[in-house]
A and B are shown apart, each in its own frame.
Chain A
Amino acid sequence: MSFVPLSSLLQAPTLAPMAHSFAPVVLGDHTEKPGIQLNEIRQFRVAGKGYVFVPAVTAIFGLDELGAEILGWLRPLDYQSATAIEAVQTPATRHAVLGEIVAAFEPRYHRSAIVGAIKDLRDIGVLRLVGFREEGLKAPAPKLPPMPFPQRTLVLNVANDCNLGCSYCFAAQGDYGTPKRMMSEETARRSVDFLLGNSGVHKSVTIVFFGGEPLMNLKLIRRLVDYANDAGVKAGKEVEFTMTTNATYLTPEVIDFLSENRIGVSVSIDGPKQYHDLRRTYKSGHGSYDFIRPRVLELLSRHKTRPIAARATLTHGVTAVQECFWHLKDMGFHEVGFAPVTSASQDEFALTRDEMWQVLGEFRQLADVYVEDALQNRHLGFSNVSNVLSELHAGVVKAYPCGAGLGLLGVGVDGDLFLCHRFSESKEHRMGSVQEGLDTAKQEQFLRQAHLSRKGGCQVCWVRHICSGGCHHEAYTRHGALHEPNAHYCEWIRTWIDLGLDCYARIMDGNPMFLEKFIDKRGA
């Protein structure tokens, strides 16, 4: 039956249109050669054994000889240097069909073993069979963590002042460039309430006493510890305390207080006197080593309820890592960690490129000692290695380099909230206050912009899920931009993670219980 318009005298044409699907014009060539294709991996050998690291999900596998040889055949190890960026496909990778690989290995291995090895490698995402509907492992799609994100740690600037004048201080010699002030009790209580109130599912929270020099406001700390313990009980949460101090205010009474209240202590000390006094001076320029040494020793002998850590900053001329390490260990510190100073490249205390690589060489030697101890079930206490082992063991896939702005916030002396303690008192990076609450719009904006997927340069780097671009403050100081990856560190970090993988493989295959005993317990 056909239809005609009322006003029309003509017959309508009788073509009946049929549904057609449109063939899109395809631009670009997406064809891959059929066969076996390596996914993004980093393969390495330790003591003759083969291993593979899968960056997409931070998985580490040991391989048997056949598996390692197959990978080496597809892409020879010497094509990758410790410092090279590995893209998903490098030109050096050989395309091969299954038959070719079997033919290459058949004289020495059974066909079924070869095929079995390839299947295993496929199953763990190391390679894929192209043309067989299979894909490489997908890294998790970028998205914001669920909001509101529970708070875990607050770093309180309890004293916006310091009695020392260390030349490299990121807090501008202790007061972040703002008027010297002590945090009031009211603000400190609000901070504790804020932390407990926003801790979500966390069963325990951490308060870090920071500054300036936090012990300049000991009175507040004493009161706050009591308040926080009470508040914690009421909220049904455990409250932990830690403190970073320059050690100049440590008297026996103070030490006892710290010990009784189980406050973990991190002492800022750079090594033996000749290194420490180069930078960690009073405002007069006089070194502080002689003054703090007896106090530190007193701390280490009296305070037994929590581990005491030494945090040493490496600067221009202060790169003798092993010397400093053993000196501090001999003093009695349980853990020693080293951090290269955060600097603009023209700062006089900035490490040169050569010094950075010297430091890495020293790290490597110390790491060897660490591994030897680990194989004997002893923990050396070299924090840098413990940290990287911890992340590798967990298989972290980090969208952000740290918890700043997420589960960790800095609180300024007046109660303002900042990304972390390094941004304390920086108006630009203010994210609300403990009085008004967290500015979630700002937080969301920060998290959006800081997400790893926004760092273009990181996308082809195989350590991206562990490094995630590096410290925001470091980037801000060096590059003037919060969200830039720390490009000046990239090669170094990749080499460092390579070293970490090496240590990890040796320990896991030599004494797997070590990691569970010493590293797993550390927590995120």
Chain B
Amino acid sequence: MSELTSAAVPPIGPEDHVRGEGEGLIVYADLGCPRCAAVWAELGARRRRIVFRHFPVASKHPRSPALHAATEAAGAQGRFFEMVDSLYADHGHIDDPHLWERAERLGLELERFEADRRSDAVAARVRRDFESGIRAGVGSTPAVFDTHGRRA
């Protein structure tokens, strides 16, 4: 099992999902969390560089793990942020058939989307972000940091 002792927020790395230009913000977010949806919309409007890191609190939002996996699967086909935007825009439709609908609307290859989102590799990728958040002391979502790892 992994080490979960305190550690600084990891700096932006090659694995990260980054969108936009300029001064960056690192956001640990739960795709099932309404507060995160509101903050996401606000951050989008501010047009800054944003790094999305997965922080599903599964006990609180049982669908979150599936939603985070769906974004990674979409990302494998180049549509990570589009899927994030889509999920945050509509929390009422997050069951599997709705995910397939979203995937189709984004032009994703459905069979590959399904295989990817259920894969161990995707689960591990999501878990890596989650654990970095735990180590950085994230206790509620969204948790926003600047690129130096300070709370923003």
Partners in one complex: no
Task: List B residues at the A interface (Cβ < 8 Å).
Answer: none
